[in-house]
Structures are given as structure tokens and as C-alpha cells.
Amino acid sequence: MGTRSILVLGVGNILMSDEGSGVYAVRTLEATYSFSSNVSFLDGGTLGMRLLHPISLAYSLIVADTAILGKAPGTISRLTMDDIRMRTVLKNSMHQISFSETLTMAEMMGILPATTIITIEPVDIETMSVELTPVITGKMNSFCEILLSEILASGGTYKSRNHVLNKAGSF
């Protein structure tokens, strides 16, 4: 990635229903549009600290994730580092180093790019399933559109691959 590179990073567990919303959004964007060469996409899964390396290479970071903010399911929100910095505490396992911790670690290391986090309020993140719930599936176009506007704002461009948005939430 060169300078001004934009990393669009989808995070979440695709085996846990809406937990994988961010990953689905990134997959959908990649399948539906072609982007300027400074835009790259990554399915970050739940890898936490392993994402520090790709994060360190980006000039701007746009994260697509699920967030429980107490809003109506499907509500899309825009967060910044100030919103998540204080939500991190010591954990008893690497497996509890969440994505918030990863971003805080990147900040402490001085490698965190300009970061925007676009989140969607889930319906169900507990059922083991590779399908999104219908409410979140219905919101996937809006989720993607907001991510597209962030990509534009960060200096990326895109054009449609000339077919309708894939049905999100299924393999």
C-alpha cells in the first residue's frame, strides 16, 4: 500500500449470526464495485492483535463492525477513537483482546492511521449461524452506502460493477 492508502477492514465472527455484519459488508462492497488502487479491503475476522500489521500499513482506516450501543437493531453509527479508547481493560486471555484493544494498542505504538468506525446494531450475535438476521440483511445496503461515503471522504473512488448488490448474509 502506498501513501494515502485506505484500508477498509471488516471485523467480526461470521459463525455467530449478525456478529459477522462487518465482514459481510466488506465482501459485498468488493463484489459490487471496483475501487481506485489506493483502496484495499480486508476480512479481519476476530483476529485482534494479528490485525496490527495490516493496520500499520494504512494511511486511513475505515472499520466495519457490529456494536451494541443500545439503539434499535440495524441502527448504523459512526464512532471515533475517542468513543472506544476508555472501553478497554486488562483481560485474562488473548481471546479477550477485542478489536477495541487492538486499536488502543496501535495508538500506543504510534501506528494507528486516521480511523473511522462504522457500526451496525445487531439483532442476534449468539446463535451459531452463517446467516445474518433479516433485519440486518435489510440494512446491508445502507451499511455499504455509508462505508462508500467514508471511502470517498478519505480520497478513494469507486464505480459499480454493473450488477445489483449481492444478497448479503449468505455464502
Partner 1 sequence: MARIIIDPVTRIEGHLKIEVEVTNGKVTDAWSSGTLFRGIETILNGRAPDDAWLFTQRLCGVCTYVHGVASVRSVENALSSKIPSNARIVRNLLMGGQYVHDHPVHFYHLHGLDWVDIVSALSADVNETSDLAKSLSPNAPAIDFASIKTRLQNFVSSGQLGIFNGGYWGHSAYLLTPEENLLLASHYLLALRQQLIAAEMHAIFGAKNPHVQSLKVGGVTCKFDITSERISKFRDLLTQMRQFIDTVYIPDVKYVAKKYSSWKSIGGFNNYLCYGDFPLNDAASDLLFPGGYILNKGTSVSNVDLSQITEHVNHSWYSGSALHPSVGQTNPAYDSYNTDSRYSWLKAPRYNGNAMEVGPLARILVAYYKNSSDVVSLVNSLLSDTGLNAAALHSTLGRAAARALETKLIADKMDGWLNGLDPNGEVLTATTVPSTGSSNGYGINEAPRGALGHWIDIQDGKINNYQMVVPSTWNLGPRDSNDVRGPVEQALIGTPVEDASKPLEVLRIVHSYDPCLACAVHVIDAKKDKSYIVKVS
- Going 126 to 131 to 135 to 139, the CA torsion angle's sign is positive
- The interface region with partner 1, picked from 28-36, 94-102, 145-153, 160-168 by CB under 8 A, is 94-102
Quote the least distance from Cβ 3 to partner 1, whole Å.
19
Q: Does 60 interact with partner 1 (rule: CB under 8 A)?
A: no
Q: Does 126 interact with partner 1 (rule: CB under 8 A)?
A: yes
Residues in contact with partner 1, counted by CB under 8 A, come to a total of 59
- Kindly list the distances between the CA atom of residue 126 and the CA atoms of 19, 38, 70, 122, 133, in Å, as whole numbers in the listed order: 8, 36, 16, 10, 11
Q: Does 124 interact with partner 1 (rule: CB under 8 A)?
A: no
Q: Are 168 and 28 in contact (CB under 8 A)?
A: yes
Determine the distance from the C-alpha atom of residue 83 to the mean position of all C-alpha atoms in its chain, rounded to a whole number: 16
Which of 1, 59, 73, 79 is close enough to bind partner 1 by CB under 8 A?
Answer: 79
Nearer to partner 1, 83 or 165 (CB): 83
Contacts of 118 (CB under 8 A, 6+ apart): 62, 63, 64, 65, 76, 77, 78, 79, 143, 146, 147, 150
Which of 1, 13, 73, 135 is close enough to bind partner 1 by CB under 8 A?
Answer: 13
Which of 86, 159, 163, 164 is close enough to bind partner 1 by CB under 8 A?
Answer: 86
Amino acid letter, 120:
I
Q: Does 4 interact with partner 1 (rule: CB under 8 A)?
A: no
> Could you say which residues in the range 30-49 bind partner 1, by CB under 8 A?
42-49
Give DSSP secondary structure letters for 3-29: TT-EEEEEES-TTBGGGGHHHHHHHHH
Which chain residues interact with partner 1 by CB under 8 A?
11-16, 19, 42-54, 56, 65-70, 79, 84-101, 104-105, 107-109, 117, 119, 122, 125-126, 128-130
